[in-house]
Structure 1
Amino acid sequence: MTAADTTTAADHLDTVTERWTSLQDRVGDRPTTTWPPAMGITRLMSDEELQEQAAERADTAPDAPGPRPVPVDVDVLDVMTTIETGLVTAADWLAERVQRPAFRAPTGHGWSDDVHRAAVLLATKDAADPRRWRYNGQPTAPDAAEWLACRLRDQPGPFRKLDEGERQAVAEVAQAGAELIRRTLGDARRTTAVPEPCPMPCGGQLVVEGGDGEPPIVRCEDCGRTWTEQTSSDAA
């Protein structure tokens, strides 16, 4: 990996650390948008699909009869679990490879022995070094992301520097985690195929592009024609 690639991977890990709270907040929010956006494509849905969609809206409406669903976004919770599992597993794996074992104090000497006492204190301090990755407890995604970013940046501590393969492995996990966060929070633009063909003579494959907060568009991959959702101001 080049220095630029390492910096990018560390930045991906920073994204996890900085935006984890936003994911936690999103878990308690009911999704406000769907992907892909329906736009004008809903007119091509079958009557049965339209009825199912209407029933789903009625079931989740605030004034609909019956019990209310639990206000937790399970999809976001799944994303968080995936990211956390990947990062913590990567940190466990990397620590086994690059983290130096703690010093051991010599035995057989009394506490009054100055050299022995100094060795015990040194060993205790080394074992408790906060820069060490701990395998026990409940490490979180931000904990793992921050620790992995420090290793990529070769920050000092009881570690050796990462080799090329280790850097690449951490970079892949970091990129996957950051992309999942950006996609979940609406920062990443996505492309999804549409089952209906292009209405133009080419009859090509339609895709919806969006999901990053910008207005979505429908684009034909054959003829290149694009459509956007018309707003009331556009109609005027």
Structure 2
Amino acid sequence: MTTTTAQHLIRIAALWPHLDEALDQRGTNWLASRSDLFAVLDQVDREEAAALRALERDPQQIGETPAPVSLRILDTARLVETTLVHLADTLAPQITRPAISHAPEDWAARGWTPADRALRNACADDEQADPQRWRYVGLRTAEYAAGWLYARVTGEEGPFWTLTAAQHLLVEQVAAGCAARIEQALDLATRAVPAARPCPLCSGRIVVTTGAGRTPTARCEDCARGWTLPEPIAA
């Protein structure tokens, strides 16, 4: 079954707490310091970021080394949150119906009564304060943005116009990409990656399968020879 836009957004919201847990396991108070960490990383240029990654790697390892878990999780969370909030910022003014204005200054000359003026102002205040409207200040998190976007793609009632096909496609592409990045950071998705070296027996291509919490395995596509990592020996 094809994964829908709504399912991607649900997946993001469901997995987001696991990003918190993954970083907390590395001894960082993620919930308390996330905004501060984002601000610091935004000030670090690409060369400095690469240097930070290099410092956290094992100097004994040869070749490229994946970023440590904490930094990979942090980078993913920052990217996903920034992307979803930016999408909501961009989409909101296109689909949100304007709230009615307060009573005009010449309300008395128009024949309005004080009660008419009070009713108009009260209605305007209520529309402006509608919690369904996207806010550009305050709560601007990935979870909140995912929930707001979910309500828009599922047609939840509110002060909004229906998404166009192009707008829905944009949300679908962004949501799918964000969900995939979270799954990759948490190592939830199964991945099949060609090995750098050929099979020692037949020189065929070896494919390494990993992810989803499974022990990495390798298999030659030509001779079908397989390899697995040895089981850890208890101390």
> TM-score band (shorter)?
0.7 to 0.9
Q: Name the CA distance, whole Å, in 1 between partners of 2:4 and 2:221.
A: 31
Q: Kindly report the root-mean-square deviation, in angstroms, between the aligned alpha carbons of the 2 structures.
A: 2.7
2:140 maps to: 139
2:88 touches 2:145 (CA, 8 Å); kept in 1?
yes
Q: Name the CA distance, whole Å, in 1 between partners of 2:219 and 2:12.
A: 32
CA offsets per residue over residues 15-41 of structure 1, 9 Å max, x none? Answer: 21122121012123249xxxxxxxxxx
Work out whether 1:227 is the aligned partner of 2:227.
yes
Q: 1:88 aligns with which of 85, 89, 98?
A: 85
1:211 maps to: 211
Q: Alpha-carbon deviation of 1:199?
A: 1.5
Q: Name the CA distance, whole Å, in 1 between partners of 2:121 and 2:232.
A: 75
The 5 Å alignment of 1:142-221 reads 142-201=143-202, 203-221=203-221
The 5 Å alignment of 1:15-164 reads 15-30=11-26, 52-53=60-61, 73-107=70-104, 108-109=106-107, 113-164=114-165
Q: Name the CA distance, whole Å, in 1 between partners of 2:94 and 2:125.
A: 22
2:23 touches 2:74 (CA, 8 Å); kept in 1?
yes
Residues 21 and 51 from structure 1, CA distance in 2 versus in 1: closer, same or farther, beyond 3 angstroms? closer
Q: Alpha-carbon deviation of 1:204?
A: 2.0
Q: Name the CA distance, whole Å, in 1 between partners of 2:213 and 2:232.
A: 19
CA offsets per residue over residues 64-119 of structure 1, 9 Å max, x none? Answer: xxxxxxx9811110000110111111111110210111111221337961111111
Q: Alpha-carbon deviation of 1:9?
A: 1.2
Q: Alpha-carbon deviation of 1:231?
A: 3.3
Residues 188 and 72 from structure 1, CA distance in 2 versus in 1: closer, same or farther, beyond 3 angstroms? closer
2:76 touches 2:181 (CA, 8 Å); kept in 1?
yes
Q: 2:5 aligns with which of 4, 9, 34?
A: 9
Q: Name the CA distance, whole Å, in 2 between partners of 1:74 and 1:138.
A: 24
How many equivalent pairs are there? Answer: 194
Percent sequence identity over aligned pairs: 36
List gaps (5 residues or longer) in structure 1. Answer: 32-49, 55-70
Q: Alpha-carbon deviation of 1:207?
A: 2.2
CA offsets per residue over residues 183-230 of structure 1, 9 Å max, x none? Answer: 2222111122321111222x1222211111123211223444432234
Q: TM-score, normalised by structure 1?
A: 0.74
Q: Name the CA distance, whole Å, in 2 between partners of 1:27 and 1:101.
A: 41
